[in-house]
Amino acid sequence: MSIFIDGSTRLVVQGITGRDGSFHARQMIEYGTNVVAGVTPGKGGQTFDGSVPVFDTVADAVEETGANASVIYVPAAFASSAIFEAADAGVDLIVCITEGVPVADTMRALPYVREKGARLIGPNCPGLIAPGIGKVGILPGQIVAPGPVGIVSRSGTLTYEVIFQFTRQGIGQSTCVGIGGDPLIGTNFVDCLQAFEADPETRAVAMIGEIGGTDEQVAAEFVRDHMSKPVVGFIAGQTAPPGRRMGHAGAIISGSEGTAAEKVKVFRECGIAVAERPADLVGLVDSGLRG
């Protein structure tokens, strides 16, 4: 199994005729994702690459194709409107790749998405991939392999590095999820950990956090109280100069709570083995699987 996407996922690409949308739509189709529709206002009735119908609205796409998931590649100024539109159309999963979405826009979109019973991943995220099943977003399909390890990360490129290290050592993944580094996101660590715990084919989890905020500490407490599967972790930003703002918009240290040292301390107190380097996660997961 996998989490959040599976063989029944029918994907609509919002912004499919744009530069990023068209490039990644082709990548998702090539990987085997069931891309059933695209949306670009004013271009309804066209087809993308001769096979994927393009609609003016997500509602039209859902009605005609039965799409149940959406991925968003539109400029930041229009991203929240795209999220609202997808939620209104009744899709179950909305993945917003767009970065630079104003926090105020995300603040308005999140409760609406939840009210509609949908899940939002992102914004400012690489999406997710279930090896051998499909991908929604920009995660590179050539570095993954099917297997028992779930991966959840705030960092996009660090997600790629960790996946590559696992695959290179012969350890495959059940699902890899990049949740995004903005201060407000739709799906957090705990949401993913809960899903991995319920997935019978996920036997261990690697969690990649970073400085700023307290989401990692909350996740660590969830692991301590509710996870039966081994969880290992890595915190990016351990060498960040004191007092300097680094990385994502969410990587803002407030007092001592958001520091790498505090997060590592809480991880260890909650039974999460912590890697010094991303590559060290492989050995920690391998030990967990064997144990």
Portions of the chain given CATH number 3.40.50.261: 140-290
Task: Judge if pTM exceeds 0.75.
Answer: yes
Q: How far apart are CA 173 and CA 171, in angstroms?
A: 7
Q: How far apart are CA 290 and CA 53, in angstroms?
A: 48
What's the pLDDT tens digit per position in 139-178? Answer: 999 999 999 999 999 988 889 999 999 999 999 999 999 9
* Strand pairing report for 173-178 and 127-130: antiparallel
One-letter identity of residue 203: R
Q: Which residue has the tokens 């520091």?
A: 259
With a CB cutoff of 8 Å and minimum separation 6, the contacts of 289 are 148, 149, 171, 203, 204, 230
What integer pLDDT is reported at residue 155 of this predicted model?
A: 84
Q: Does the structural domain 140-290 have CATH classification 3.30.1330.60?
A: no
Per-residue pLDDT band for 242 (boundaries 50, 70, 90) equals low
Portions of the chain given CATH number 3.40.50.720: 11-121
Q: Does the structural domain 11-121 have CATH classification 3.50.50.60?
A: no
Residue 248 is a catalytic residue: yes
In angstroms, how far is the first alpha carbon of the chain from the final one?
A: 22
Query: Does 24 have pLDDT greater than 90?
Result: yes
Catalytic residue among 135, 154, 229, 248: 248
DSSP H stretches of helix in the chain: 19-31, 58-65, 76-89, 103-115, 156-168, 189-198, 215-226, 260-269, 281-290
